Amino acid sequence: MRLKVVVTRPLPAPVEAKMRALFDVELNADGAAFDRERLASAMQRCDALASNVGDRLDAGLIAGVGDRLRLIANFGVGTDNIDLAAARRRGIAVTNTPDVLTQDTADIVMALILITLRRLGEGERLLRDGRWGGWKPTDFLGRSLAGKTLGIVGMGRIGQAVARRAAAFGMDVHYHNRKPAAGHPARYWADLDAMIEIADVVSVNAPYGAETHHLVDGRRLARMKRDAVLINAARGAIVDEEALVAALAEGRIAGAGLDVYPHEPHVDPRLVAMEQVVLLPHMGSATVETRTAMGMKVVENILAFADGRELPDQVV
């Protein structure tokens, strides 16, 4: 018998075609995000849920599912949207989609560094508004990447891919991690505070969890140089957003480039109003190639589960 799979958001066409061919699949036809009620109902009537990083699968929801659900195959490398302990308690396996999004996410980090330091967003907005008066030697003076110090917070796969790119741009690359990581052009700092003090650009690339909640808080923001910028393409809640707004508003740091927010899709209007802040709608892995590869990983994990094989990307 084919496994019953519910998919909570439309996925790239080749992924949906493969799912149709392999499973008794219920695709998301209306495109809308699943609310709690729809998630609960889906989790009652399927063997595997193909969730995504926007679905909140908390302990209450997981505790209330019947006995049918056996796998949550999350579309995303991050699984902080799922209460993993609750899934473990109910004997529900959880998988994610690592590796395939590393390069594109590192590209977005570099894009945020470029847009923020070179003031590209401001320039584009001004031109589109019809306010460009022609080339002037003193217009839009941003800052060069070459020679600037980059401090990477979290040296996993994405942090390392950022380090390689930043070194190619001529940046002096440093990183903080629980342990030193080998094989990249960067200097290790065990002391995050000390690294933050010397960085011109601080890039958050750590996974989100209890240990990294508000890792970049008001105290750490206060240690940053006044002309430094903060980049976050990891998870919004790793940064204390209230403290970030205050640091930016008071000119205690020079800018920020953000792809993620603590309460997505809500973005604090005070950030939206700031010219020195670049805001992207969680686009790190948003390429045809990567989103398709992520979907194929979801399929592989469900298929392995259906065949009783070891799950390639099991988190729980």
List 76, 159, 262, 295, residue binding ligand DGY (CB under 6 A): 76
214 catalytically annotated? no
Tokens of 118: 């070179």
Nearer to ligand DGY, 77 or 117 (CB): 77
Q: Tell me how far, at minimum, the Cβ of 77 lies from ligand DGY, in Å.
A: 4
d(CA 48, CA 312): 15
Amino acid at residue number 37: E
List 121, 154, 257, 284, residue binding ligand DGY (CB under 6 A): 284
Q: How many CB atoms lie within 10 A of CB 287?
A: 15
- DSSP at 75: B
Q: How many residues bind ligand DGY, per CB under 6 A?
A: 7
List 46, 65, 101, 158, residue binding ligand DGY (CB under 6 A): 101
List 5, 23, 62, 78, residue binding ligand DGY (CB under 6 A): 78
Cis peptide bond prior to 265, omega within 30° of 0: yes
**Binders of ligand DGY among 43-72, rule CB under 6 A?**
53
Q: Tell me how far, at minimum, the Cβ of 285 lies from ligand DGY, in Å.
A: 3
d(CA 218, CA 66): 43
Nearer to ligand DGY, 54 or 123 (CB): 54
Judged by CB under 6 A, which stretch of 33-41, 76-84, 126-134, 303-311 contacts ligand DGY? Answer: 76-84
Amino acid at residue number 234: A
Distances, alpha carbon 291 to alpha carbons 31, 89, 158, 249, 287, in Å: 16, 30, 16, 36, 6
SS3 250: coil
Those residues whose C-beta lies under 8 Å from the C-beta of residue 110, and which sit 6 or more positions away, are 162, 165, 166, 169
282 catalytically annotated? yes
Q: Is there binding between residue 255 and ligand DGY (CB under 6 A)? A: no
235 catalytically annotated? yes
So which residues are the catalytic ones?
Answer: 235, 264, 282
Residues of this chain that interact with ligand DGY (CB under 6 A) are 53, 76-78, 101, 284-285
